[in-house]
């Protein structure tokens, strides 16, 4: 079986994006000799289950990017059809579908599956954790891919970073918050470790797929909900169901979305198709982040003009949330598997935070304060 260790996948992805002589660029110009070579490869059809509705073109677009790029790179010989949440399997059951072979691959978020292994949270995001750039650095260069793949191997699955929303917002609330006490009994849609932290602060946590959030919020089944940021949230209509839009999204400062592949299906792929899939995921990872940063900036201003009220969580809530996060992580680290990933991740975070405090925070603290339209 070809070498597709995390190190090898990093090299493939970097090469695909960095050189015009690589796989991606050569496929863009569609040279006749490559099309001819591609026709010698077998026709392979895969199905990809996702956790996203069609309406969210940016996050579902991550799956579509993978599908499009492998089709282009293989001259139409490797075909992956992405399906929206609920079309093949429920949005929160993608891992199970890939694991049992109902589908060959999926596009989802690792933290939906904390019940299977709490350490999978690190594959997406951890409260007060890494930004998108830092998360990519940890995954690709800091040992993160090795750590996450070790977790997924227990399910007969391998993983590829395949999208990132960037720093998220802190959710929509029907009523303004008045400190930590106002969280008591609040019904809120929030998954992952962020949900566990909110539960520790008294929130009645609900986990719903994206396509179900609006109705639950609009009809009063929940009092608050978070999804990603302005662009997606407007698409879901959350601004029509709640008025108060809180920030920051401290539980997801840089969440990675993940492509999962059944190991048996992977082993049957020609090495050329494995390389194409790895490169396509790498491209999807960067493209999604770029799209979100560009789109969210415009939509946020439109939401504000439409009556949305931006609200800062406030230091008391943020401090309480950080203390609860530290306690939950410490308790979870009593499990040896969680501890192994957590300690490696925490060491990387300490180093990259120290570096970014020098090279980025010193700049953003000054420059961002001068931005027009800043809260």
Res 280: pLDDT: 99
- Write down the pTM of the prediction: 0.88
Quick check: 13 pLDDT over 90? no
**Beta carbons of 96 and 116 less than 8 angstroms apart:** no
Res 374: pLDDT: 54
pLDDT grade, residue 35 (50/70/90)? very low
Which contacts qualify for 367-374: CB closer than 8 Å, 24 or more apart? 373/301
Task: Pick the range with the lowest mean pLDDT from 25-39, 104-118, 122-136, 227-241.
Answer: 25-39
- How many whole angstroms separate alpha carbon 326 and alpha carbon 129? 11
For 89-146, the pLDDT digits (tens) are 999 999 999 999 999 999 999 999 999 999 999 999 999 999 999 999 999 999 999 9
Res 368: pLDDT: 86
Angle in degrees, CA 214, 97, 100, rounded to 5: 165
- How many whole angstroms separate alpha carbon 329 and alpha carbon 251? 13
Token readout for 48 is 């990809």
pLDDT grade, residue 22 (50/70/90)? very low
When the pLDDT of each residue in the chain is averaged and rounded to a whole number, the result is 91
φ, ψ at 244 (rounded to 5°) = -100, 125
Token readout for 72 is 């282009």
Q: Helix, strand, coil shares of the chain as percentages rounded to 5? A: 55, 15, 30
Token readout for 178 is 């008045």
For 242-296, the pLDDT digits (tens) are 999 999 999 999 999 999 999 999 999 999 999 999 999 999 999 999 999 999 9
φ, ψ at 189 (rounded to 5°) = -85, 115
- How many whole angstroms separate alpha carbon 183 and alpha carbon 132? 28
- How many whole angstroms separate alpha carbon 185 and alpha carbon 204? 6
- How many whole angstroms separate alpha carbon 283 and alpha carbon 27? 14
Region 359-371 average pLDDT: 86
Per-residue H/E/C for 168-217: CCCCEECCCCCCHHHHCCCEEECCHHHHHHHHHCCCEEECCCHHHHHHHH
Quick check: 11 pLDDT over 70? no
Q: How much of the chain, in percent, has pLDDT values that exceed 90?
A: 86
Second CATH level (architecture) for the domain 6-164+255-293: 3-Layer(aba) Sandwich (3.40)
Query: In the chain, where are the structural domains located?
Result: 6-164+255-293
């Amino acid at each position: 079986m070809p070498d597709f260790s995390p190190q090898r996948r990093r090299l493939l992805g970097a090469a695909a994006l960095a050189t015009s002589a690589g796989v991606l660029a050569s496929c863009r110009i569609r040279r006749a000799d490559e099309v001819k070579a591609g026709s010698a490869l077998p026709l392979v059809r895969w199905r990809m289950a996702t956790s996203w509705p069609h309406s969210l073109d940016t996050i579902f677009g991550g799956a579509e990017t993978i599908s499009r790029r492998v089709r282009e790179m293989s001259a139409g010989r490797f075909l992956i059809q992405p399906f929206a949440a609920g079309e093949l399997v429920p949005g929160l059951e993608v891992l199970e579908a890939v694991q049992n072979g109902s589908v060959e691959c999926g596009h989802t978020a690792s933290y939906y599956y904390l019940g299977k292994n709490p350490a999978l949270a690190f594959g997406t995001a951890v409260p007060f954790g890494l930004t998108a750039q830092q998360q990519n650095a940890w995954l690709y260069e800091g040992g993160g891919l090795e750590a996450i793949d070790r977790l997924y191997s227990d399910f007969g699955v391998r993983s590829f970073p395949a999208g990132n929303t960037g720093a998220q917002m802190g959710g929509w609330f029907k009523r303004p918050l008045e400190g930590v006490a106002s969280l008591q009994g609040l019904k809120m849609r929030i998954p992952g470790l962020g949900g566990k932290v909110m539960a520790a602060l008294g929130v009645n946590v609900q986990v719903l797929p994206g396509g179900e959030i609006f109705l639950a919020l609009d009809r009063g089944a929940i009092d608050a909900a978070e999804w990603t940021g302005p662009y997606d949230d407007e698409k879901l209509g959350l601004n029509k169901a709640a008025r108060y839009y809180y920030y920051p999204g401290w539980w997801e400062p840089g969440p990675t979305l993940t492509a999962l592949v059944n190991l048996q299906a992977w082993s049957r792929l020609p090495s050329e198709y494995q390389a194409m899939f790895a490169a396509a995921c790498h491209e999807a990872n960067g493209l999604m982040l770029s799209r979100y940063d560009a789109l969210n900036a415009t939509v946020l201003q439109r939401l504000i003009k439409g009556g949305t009220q931006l609200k800062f969580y406030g230091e008391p809530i943020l401090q309480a949330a950080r203390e609860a996060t530290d306690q939950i992580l410490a308790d979870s680290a009593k499990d040896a598997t969680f501890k192994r990933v957590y300690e490696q991740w925490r060491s990387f975070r300490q180093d990259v935070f120290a570096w970014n405090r020098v090279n980025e925070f010193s700049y953003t603290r000054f420059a961002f304060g001068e931005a027009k339209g800043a809260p």
